[in-house]
Structure formats: C-alpha cells, structure tokens
Amino acid sequence: MDNSTSARPGIGRRKLLLGGAGALGLAALGGTGLLTGCGTDSGPAGADGPPQPGGRLRSVIAGRSASADVLDPHQAGSSAGGAVSKNVWDKLVAYNNDLTLRYRLAESLQPNADGSEWRITLRPGVVFADGTPLTSRDVLWSFERMLDPAKKSSGDLSAVDMSRTRADGDLAVVVRMKTPLADFGSVLAGWYCYIVKDGTGTIDGSVLPVGTGPFALAHWSPGDRTLLRRNDRYWDGRPLLDEVEIIQIAETEARVNAFLSGEADVVHEISYLQARTLSDDAEVRVVVPPAGLMGAFQMRVDTAPFDDVRVRQAMRLAVDRQAMVDSVYYGYAELGNDAYGKGAPFYNDTLPQRAYDPQRARELLRAAGRENLRVTLPTADGMPGMLESATLFAEHAKAAGITIELESVPADTYFSQISGKAALSHIGWWNYSLDYFYGQTMTSASPSNGTGWRRPEWDAKFAQARAAMDPQRRRTLYHELQRELWDEGGYILHSFAKRPDAAKTYVGGVRNGVPGTDDWANYATTWLAAR
C-alpha cells in the first residue's frame, strides 16, 4: 500500500458531526433495569438522501503486524480485530454510548435473588450466516471457549461456574456463578464476549468461520486487510453494503494519508489536530462520539523505581493535565484524575482533582531517595495523541527534576510487546463498566494487569462490590476501590479524550459510537451514495 501524502481536497465549509450529549450519563442500576431494545442510540448520519444499497466500503483502522494480528474474536486485541469481530459475530448484550445496555442475541437476562444464578433467554429466529439456527449450545460452547486460560478472554467470564451451567432447552441457558454477580450484563457486553458457533475450533483464517453479525468473512490477510460480504440472513435487518474492506495501518498519520489519497472511504482513530483540520473540509465529515476514552501512562508497581508509592505519586504530580487537554487533544477531551471510567456507573467523582505540582513531586522523590529520577518511556504513533502526550509529559516532568527519555518503537507491536511489560508505558482502554475493566486489569489474576497491581485485600473488596445487589452498597464499595487506586495505583490517567473518526460525504449511515460500544466501526447501517 502506498501511504504517501497526495494532494489534499479543497477546504470548504465546516462539517462536524457531534453525537448526542457531551458526557456519559449514569446508567440505571442492577439486573435487567439497565437493558433496552436491540437498536442503536448513536444516530446514524452522513450522506444526504435515501439510503442506497450496494457497493464496497473501504475502512482504514489501526492494526498490528502480520505476526501479532489474530482473527479469533476471543483473542483479537487491536482496533482492526475488534472491528472485524463486531461485524462478523454478535454479543448477547451490548453497550450503548452511556454504558447502559441493550439486548442483542439475548432477549432477557434474569438473576435470582442474590445474583448467584442468571437465566439467559435467547432471541428466537436468529441464524448464523450459513443458515444454522442459534441455540443454547452455541452459548455454552462460546463460554467454554472464552474461559480457556490460553485465551485473552479468560478473565471476562471468570465468575462463571461452567460445571453447574446448563442449557434449558434450545433457547435458554442457566448460568451459575462461582461468586454472586449483580450485573452480569455489563460483563457480557465486554470486548471479547462474542457468541461463536458450537464446535468452532481454532480460528486462524485457514477456514473462515461464520457468525450471526451483519457481514460474513470472505478473506483475511493478517496485518493487512479483511474482506467482508453482506450476510443476507442477518437477524437485525439486511445490511445495505455488498462488501466491507477493513484495511490495517498502524500509524495515525499514515491512516489519514490513505484516506485523503482516496484509498479509503472511512478512517478511524485520527489525531485531534487532523480532526480540527478535516472539520473544515467540504468533502469530509468528522464524527465525534459523545464520550471520551482514557489517555494514560501506566507504571508497573512491582518494578523499580515504581515499586515505591512515593515515586508513583510524584510521577502523577509531574503531568499538567490541563495542558494535555489543550495542547494534545485540541479541546476534544476532559481532565483525567487517575481513575478509570469517567461517566460510568459507580465512577468516583468525589475524588479531589489531582493538580500539576512539580515542587511536591520533588519532595516525594527526595523522601524516596530518588532525586533527579531518570526513566524511559517507550512510545509510538500507535493511537491518536500517543507521541504528543509522551513529548509533553517529558517537558512537564523536568520541573520536578524527572528526566523522561523517550524511546521510539514500532507502532504495530507496541500494545502486544511493550505496553504493560515495560516499567513505564502507554495504555489506552476504551469505555466499559467498572465490573468489566477491573476484572480484566486490576485483580491479581487479571489477564491484562499492566500495572502489576496484586493485592488480595483489594481483590476481596472487588468481589464484594460485584456481588452487591443493592446499588448503594455497590457504589460505596466501588468508590473505596477507586480511592485506593487513586492513592497508590499505577495509572497516570491524564485525560478522557473523545476519539474522532472521519468519513467522505458520500458515506451515509455512519454511527458515532464510543469505542468500546458495538456501534463504533460497525457498518450494519452504513451505505454509499452515488458519486
């Protein structure tokens, strides 16, 4: 692929699509009360006129190297892998932009009195792309597959006791929990929780599997591109597009170059400066989701020098968050406060806002015997704002006597080989419930514990929070968990940045989904106008 910059389209009137309200609202709490219907809340928009069928949409998105790319929806960790998964497979429930939930393959989720058992009732009439009906056997197989310790999905359903989970006819599954779970739906909406066909084995592209999503796999070239074709049997309305080509380009600038040179119709994960520039382009629409994602660095609390809490606190005081919002994100962001999940149910918004205080950082480092601290931060052009935030952090930290040496590494292997393995690295989780995020990242057995946070007492309180059927009790426990992480954890969470995408004006039905929801990079409603 030629990623060189071509002549730019003419600049004309401003076209900026703002989706919904400015920040995430609080979800309804507990059980089935936070679930809605099967539609989308994210307002498809784009080309004028009635939707038109046919054509191939070309979408360029952040990916990984050929050796790191995987097709398996229970393993795929990149943006491109996620886009393929959500267009080929489906979940039982999915997140709306405000982290409330809507039913998808499930028609209902019903807990018993203490959350130790949940009944999943499936939507009738759903078939896979090859015509095979969806049944409870597919759900059981998918759960077993996700719980394989070798898979990255293993932490998602860790509370499920498969030895006591059973089918109840063709369209119901009774799920027993190892420990009670008050909000099973928010876990089932997580990144990896796709339902695959009963008997599905290794998914490596040698044989193309089928799903229940809007498109079916036609070709997969790891680290390069994936071709999807319309699934005419799709249960939620026949897609308009004939085909979707998902093109992987790891570097942010190169993605936009491909888009501007006419190689793609949609580009995901553009930089914030690019979004500002493209919003004045008459041939482009910028799509801005209504909520921001965490922008953060992570310190491994089990690795020197960050095994000293005073050093971690000093590092957090050495970043100017307002400058990050203004200079890196061009206003497409809100201040971060070292706690994940702004706007999500049970987010602790009572924590004092951490400020830039290089003098206090110096004092903490002096007390820790770490004056004139030197640390290395590997960085790459792997997602919008990475290089810019690393460079600005290095500048901020100088006033605290901290030297941050930036090490440039390849973007396509950053999140598989560097993030969470280096003592200091970038991290960028999308929007999920605290139940899901903490289960993936913060317990001692979490599969993606990039900060090395392992505290049995914290784990035990998290189990209590997940089990609390009373919403107020859950809120209290989650606030306490966040306070401990705010005081002593390994995240330097400096901002919550909205992630703009862009589409040519002839592309219609574009959803403004927040990354982490099933609406982001979902092309079920997308269409192409005549050109």
Per residue, the 3-state secondary structure of 274-312, as one string, reads: HHHHHCCECCEEEEECCCCEEEEEEECCCCCCCCCHHHH
Q: What is the C-alpha separation between 442 and 490, in angstroms, rounded?
A: 10
Q: What percent of the chain has pLDDT over 70?
A: 91
pLDDT computed for residue 65 by the predictor: 84
Query: What 3-state DSSP class applies to 138?
Result: helix
79-122 pLDDT per residue, tens:
999 999 999 999 999 999 888 899 999 999 999 999 999 999 99
Q: What is the C-alpha separation between 272 and 188, in angstroms, rounded?
A: 32
Neighbouring C-beta atoms of residue 199, cutoff 10 Å: 8
Stretch 1-28: mean pLDDT, rounded? 28
263-297 pLDDT per residue, tens:
999 999 998 899 999 999 999 999 999 988 899 99
Which domains, ranges and CATH numbers included, belong to the chain?
Answer: 293-497 (3.10.105.10)
Q: What is the C-alpha separation between 508 and 529, in angstroms, rounded?
A: 7
Q: What is the C-alpha separation between 119 and 108, in angstroms, rounded?
A: 8
Distances, alpha carbon 103 to alpha carbons 32, 107, 318, 364, 502, in Å:
10, 6, 43, 49, 28
What predicted TM-score, i.e. pTM, was given to this entire model?
A: 0.81
Burial of 351 (C-beta count, 10 Å sphere; 0-12/13-18/19+): middle
Q: What is the C-alpha separation between 327 and 341, in angstroms, rounded?
A: 22
Element (H, E) at 517: none
300-338 pLDDT per residue, tens:
999 999 999 999 999 999 999 999 999 999 889 999 999
Token pair belonging to 231: 């699934």
Token pair belonging to 419: 């993030």
334-386 pLDDT per residue, tens:
999 999 999 888 999 999 999 999 999 999 999 999 999 999 999 998 888 89
pLDDT computed for residue 482 by the predictor: 98
In this predicted structure, the answer to whether residue 32 has a pLDDT above a threshold of 70 is no
With a CB cutoff of 8 Å and minimum separation 6, the contacts of 70 are: 76, 77, 81, 204, 222
pLDDT computed for residue 428 by the predictor: 85
In this predicted structure, the answer to whether residue 9 has a pLDDT above a threshold of 50 is no
Q: What is the dihedral of CA 356, 357, 361, 367, to 10 degrees?
A: -150
pLDDT computed for residue 417 by the predictor: 92
233-257 pLDDT per residue, tens:
999 999 999 999 999 998 889 999 9
Token pair belonging to 47: 């080309």
